[in-house]
Structure 1
Amino acid sequence: MSVVTAVCRVDQLLRDSGTIGVTAIDKRPVPGPVRVRPLGLHADVQADRKHHGGEDQAVYVYADEDAAYFAGQLDRPIPPGLFGENLRTSGIDVTGLVIGERWRIGEVLELEATIPRTPCGTFARRMGIDKWVKRFAEEGRPGAYFRVKRSGPVAAGDTVTVLARPEHGVTIGQMFAGLSADQAAAVLASGDGLAPKVVREAQLALRRTAV
């Protein structure tokens, strides 16, 4: 069974040496239920709204299984929220989910997978590990952003049900590694209703592979 094991939102804004000066990456588990709307969890924020948040990146999901992998690699705990995620899940392959895959969480909330998380300098400073961005990227366990298709509450213990999985079969992990021309074309051909960020990523991949 696939479940949500933790619901996380910003605990406090932290000082950061980046261009914004503060970061909202400090997410920590909160008791549920928490309402989720098109821009994300109630009372959650993003400090750098140019690169984080928005409707196509409303909810960031990370898997317990991937967190456990990094815990073993780093010989330290990776508690829920440390990577800046909103939801921690168990029993479902987040890296292997298909772009556009739709989930129902609990009885009401519906989410649609959009793009993988891209590690940044803020994340590296959060972890305090040399060359963390490169290391995280090389491991290929990025977690996934979702947009909200139907608002609703979420709480730890809610079940995750896959409602629909697009036939193109292109996964979050494949997009993170870099789409081939065929993969990008398959995503774009999958029909109307694609998240704008998905369209942009696929179009960029086509341009890159055409060079």
Structure 2
Amino acid sequence: METASVLAVCRVYQLLPDEGPVGVTAIDKRPVEGPVRVHSLGVHGDVQADRINHGGEDQAVYAYSQADAEYWAGELQRDLPPGFFGENLRVAGIETTGAVIGERWKIGLDVELEVTSPRTPCAAFQRRMGEPRFVKRFTEAGRVGAYLRVVRPGTIQAGDHIHRLFVPRHGITIGKWFSAPDLESMEALRDAEADGEIRLQPEYQEKFERLQRQLAR
């Protein structure tokens, strides 16, 4: 069995001009050498240009798996190095899209992260990839990666092992919630939150209300 590990820790390299309302994007993230501090708002030195739709404590760290990056490298026929998806962590041996919402990872000696939500692709991401209709392709493939909350800050670096500390019983994965959310899944997540297993972001309640409205029509 492959040992789960961090292949690269990435943070913003430069702000790029962007056609969107903010005018710039911080999606150009690249690996850094040596230990990097991780705190409640993410990797030290990283930024989010669009702070309305990105960042915050519930989306402090974005992780993407090497297996998914290799899938896209094959689809697009080009190299996609760590950071190219705007991720802070390129990881191997552990699923990101397949992670259960609320599961916790220990990285290195002291950092603890909690899986919170899927990444929703945006137009800036499509422009970064330089591929027409890439948002649609990315969405349909469902290989979206996971946002994580920092439960315990500390220092991480490439090569650190990742240990899965806790996996909630509800079993709803990032990929399931992104690709096929339903009332049954929402109820399972709400029950898990009521039991103190997980803490859901506000967007889950908003989606739950939308699902209820759709069924009531």
**TM bracket (short chain):** over 0.9
Relative to the length of structure 2, the TM-score reads: 0.93
Q: 1:36 touches 1:152 (CA, 8 Å); kept in 2?
A: yes
Q: CA RMSD in A?
A: 1.4
Query: Could you say which residue in structure 1 is the equivalent of 2:111?
Result: 109
- What SS is found at the alignment partner of 1:163? strand
For 1:209 and 1:188, how far apart are their aligned partners in 2? 19
Alignment of 1:1-211 (within 5 A): 1-190=3-192, 191-192=195-196, 193-197=198-202, 199-200=204-205, 203-204=208-209, 206-208=211-213, 210-211=215-216
Instruction: State the identity %.
Output: 55
Question: Residue type of the partner of 2:45?
Answer: A
Number of aligned residue pairs: 211
Q: Indicate conservation of the 8 Å contact 1:36/1:42, yes or no.
A: yes
Q: Is the 8 A contact 2:183 2:208 kept in 1?
A: no
Amino acid at match of 2:113: L
CA distance in 2, matches of 1:61, 1:204: 28
User: Runs ≥4 in structure 1, deviation > 2 angstroms?
Assistant: 195-211
CA contact (8 A) 2:4 2:91 kept: yes
Q: Deviations over 1:47-74 (max 9, x none)?
A: 0000000000000000000000100111
Q: Which secondary structure does the structure 2 equivalent of 1:73 belong to?
A: helix
What is the CA–CA distance in structure 2 between the aligned matches of 1:171 and 1:205, rounded to whole Å? Answer: 20
1:150–1:40 distance in 2 versus 1, CA, 3 Å = same
Q: Is the 1:184–1:206 Cα contact (8 Å) retained in structure 2?
A: no
Gaps of 5+ in 2: none
The answer to whether the 8 A contact 1:140-1:176 is kept is yes
C-alpha distance in 2 between matches for 1:160 and 1:181: 32
Q: 1:53 to 1:118 in 2, by over 3 A?
A: same
Distance 1:19 1:143 in 2: 25
* Unaligned ranges ≥5, structure 1: none
Tell me if the contact between 1:170 and 1:183 (Cα under 8 Å) persists in the aligned partners.
yes
